[in-house]
């Protein structure tokens, strides 16, 4: 199978008009996708995208165009080689390396290649992955810079060890689904009434973990956290998310003030680049029983490796589009398994739920073999724009069955929300 054409779209949803997705660092996001369609010589299409929050989406699209020569007229059968080709060009590598815009662009292309490969195989991506041998899985990964924490041979041992019980785990998920948690009640722009109403609905809908945004005003956060705790009771976990708002000392002070309301984790307390900062915060919050989570802005496997080596996180939050797509996320799942930390993916935005469900299902079936303290974020936004949207029932993701990566947006969406000329923007 060879790629014969590549098309890109700048798709943006005017979400800032409703304050959906508002948090302490991102007051007015317009959820967006730099979207790519690969066409293969057999007529199949692979769709993929990276997620942004508006301005600069066109820069990601320009970076996808810059990577196009490494994709066009090239084979897509060896997905490990395909992914490495997109991150190893020496000239483009200078712009990262392996971070920021060029990495977001690589993610879009690599995810599109997985959508294409899964469609060609007639399987959802999670099953294409789970059906691979340990050697094939290990070949997907770019092992550079990992050997001080995990070697390919160790990874094979780890994958072999978890193979027994694989079919039972698939059967379990097909019955019960994969646990979800919801951020829908907790956006900073929502009123107290809306927070309480949505928190109560979340519990009624079967969620055992909800999440609130924090970090703008301490008194507000204390009040909102108390309202949420009063609403959901002690049996439901409440995570909080500061979206990188604090320095180290401030994170510790703020979370200590919220400790009486039993926050389950503090997410992104500080810069995603600050490995040692996260380690310090985690150590200082441990006596209060508060865990540390991060990952949605962690740039690549090398930083995840260090967060684990430094004992800086309790929860690893992968993102489907921030690192170099499926392949780099496989590396991160293997690292998390090696260090025994649960992976609770970041989702929401547009299409992140659709993509990341495949990775968590693969993690349970073939990598960690565990659901303990694991849940995939769920936000009820923008799913109507996808041909094969996620299905949530009783607080759990239903296992996707259609071939592909659940990544394909409806053609009318690509047209209507095209930026800046689509009808949704022609105001």
Under the rule (CB under 8 A), what is the footprint of a copy of itself? 25-30, 52-56, 58-60, 62-63, 66, 89-104, 144-148, 244, 247-250, 270-277, 280, 297, 299-300, 302-303, 305-306, 309-310
> Measured from the CB of residue 309, what is the shortest distance to a copy of itself in angstroms?
6
> Measured from the CB of residue 43, what is the shortest distance to a copy of itself in angstroms?
30
Place of tokens 């740039």: 299
Q: 376-378 and 315-316: which strand pairing?
A: unpaired
> Measured from the CB of residue 214, what is the shortest distance to a copy of itself in angstroms?
17
What's the full length of the chain, in residues? Answer: 427
| Closer residue to a copy of itself in complex, CB, 58/205 | 58
* Terminal Cα-to-Cα distance of the chain (whole angstroms): 43
Q: 291-294 and 32-40: which strand pairing?
A: unpaired
Integer Rg of the chain from CA: 20
- Give the closest residue to 103 by CA, choosing from 84, 87, 79, 85: 87
**Distance between CA 216 and CA 207 in Å, rounded?**
26
- Catalytic (active site) residue 213: yes
Q: Sign (positive/negative) of CA torsion 68, 45, 104, 137?
A: negative
| Concatenated DSSP letters of 135-160 | HHHHHTS--TT-TTT--HHHHHHHHH
| Closer residue to a copy of itself in complex, CB, 211/305 | 305
Catalytic residue, from 103, 213, 383, 385: name it.
213
> Measured from the CB of residue 66, what is the shortest distance to a copy of itself in angstroms?
5
Please say whether the beta carbons of 48 and 108 come within 8 A.
Answer: yes
**Distance between CA 353 and CA 148 in Å, rounded?**
32
DSSP state of 406: S
CB atoms under 10 Å from CB of 289, counted, come to 10
Structure tokens, 381: 């936004």
| Closer residue to a copy of itself in complex, CB, 94/287 | 94
> Measured from the CB of residue 149, what is the shortest distance to a copy of itself in angstroms?
9
CB atoms under 10 Å from CB of 17, counted, come to 9
Please say whether the beta carbons of 395 and 208 come within 8 A.
Answer: yes
> Measured from the CB of residue 208, what is the shortest distance to a copy of itself in angstroms?
29
| Concatenated DSSP letters of 309-323 | HTT--SEE---TTTS
| Closer residue to a copy of itself in complex, CB, 16/231 | 16
**Distance between CA 127 and CA 157 in Å, rounded?**
20
Q: With H, G, I as helix, E, B as strand and everything else as coil, classify residue 45.
A: strand
| Closer residue to a copy of itself in complex, CB, 134/272 | 272
> Measured from the CB of residue 328, what is the shortest distance to a copy of itself in angstroms?
13
Catalytic residue, from 99, 103, 123, 346: name it.
346
| Closer residue to a copy of itself in complex, CB, 349/404 | 349
| Closer residue to a copy of itself in complex, CB, 56/389 | 56
| Closer residue to a copy of itself in complex, CB, 87/231 | 87
- Catalytic (active site) residue 88: no
Spell out the residues 6+ positions from residue 205 whose beta carbon is closer than 8 angstroms to its own: 182, 394, 395
**Distance between CA 12 and CA 49 in Å, rounded?**
12
> Measured from the CB of residue 91, what is the shortest distance to a copy of itself in angstroms?
4
The residues annotated with a catalytic role in the active site are 213, 346
């Amino acid at each position: 199978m060879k790629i014969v054409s590549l098309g890109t779209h700048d798709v943006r949803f005017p979400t800032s008009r409703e304050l959906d997705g508002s948090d302490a660092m991102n007051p007015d996001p317009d959820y967006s996708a730099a979207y790519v369609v690969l066409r293969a010589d057999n007529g199949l299409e692979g769709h993929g995208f990276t997620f942004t929050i508006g301005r600069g989406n066109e820069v990601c699209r320009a970076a996808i165009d810059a990577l196009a020569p490494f994709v066009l007229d090239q084979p897509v059968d060896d997905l490990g080689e395909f992914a490495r080709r997109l991150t190893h060009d020496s000239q483009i590598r200078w712009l990262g390396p392996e971070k920021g815009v060029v990495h977001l662009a690589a993610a879009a292309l690599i995810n599109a290649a997985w959508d294409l490969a899964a469609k060609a195989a007639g399987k959802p991506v999670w099953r294409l992955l789970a059906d691979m041998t340990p050697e094939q899985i290990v070949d997907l990964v770019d092992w550079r810079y990992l050997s001080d924490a995990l070697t390919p041979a160790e990874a094979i041992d780890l994958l072999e060890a978890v193979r027994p019980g694989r079919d039972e785990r698939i059967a379990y998920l097909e019955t019960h689904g994969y646990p979800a948690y919801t951020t829908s009640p907790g956006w900073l722009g929502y009123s107290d009434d809306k927070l309480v109403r949505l928190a109560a609905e979340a519990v009624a809908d079967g969620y055992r973990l909800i999440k609130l945004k924090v970090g703008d005003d301490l008194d507000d956060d204390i009040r909102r956290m108390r309202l949420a705790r009063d609403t959901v009771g002690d049996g439901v976990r409440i995570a909080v998310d500061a979206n990188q708002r604090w320095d180290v000392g401030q994170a510790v002070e703020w979370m200590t003030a919220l400790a009486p309301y039993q926050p389950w984790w503090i997410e992104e307390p500080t810069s995603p680049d600050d490995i040692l900062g996260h380690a310090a915060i985690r150590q200082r919050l441990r006596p209060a029983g508060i865990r540390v989570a991060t990952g949605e802005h962690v740039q690549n496997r090398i930083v995840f490796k260090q967060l684990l080596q430094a004992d800086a996180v309790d929860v690893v939050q992968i993102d489907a589009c921030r690192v170099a797509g499926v392949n780099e996320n496989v590396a991160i799942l293997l690292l998390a398994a090696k260090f025994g930390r649960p992976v609770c993916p970041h989702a929401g935005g547009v299409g992140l739920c659709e993509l990341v469900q495949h990775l968590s299902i693969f993690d349970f079936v073939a990598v960690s073999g565990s659901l303990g303290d694991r849940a995939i974020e769920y936000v009820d936004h923008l799913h109507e724009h996808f041909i094969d949207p996620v299905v949530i029932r009783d607080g759990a993701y239903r296992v996707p069955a259609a071939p592909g990566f659940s990544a394909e947006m409806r053609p009318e969406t690509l047209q209507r929300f095209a930026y800046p000329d689509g009808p949704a923007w022609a105001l």
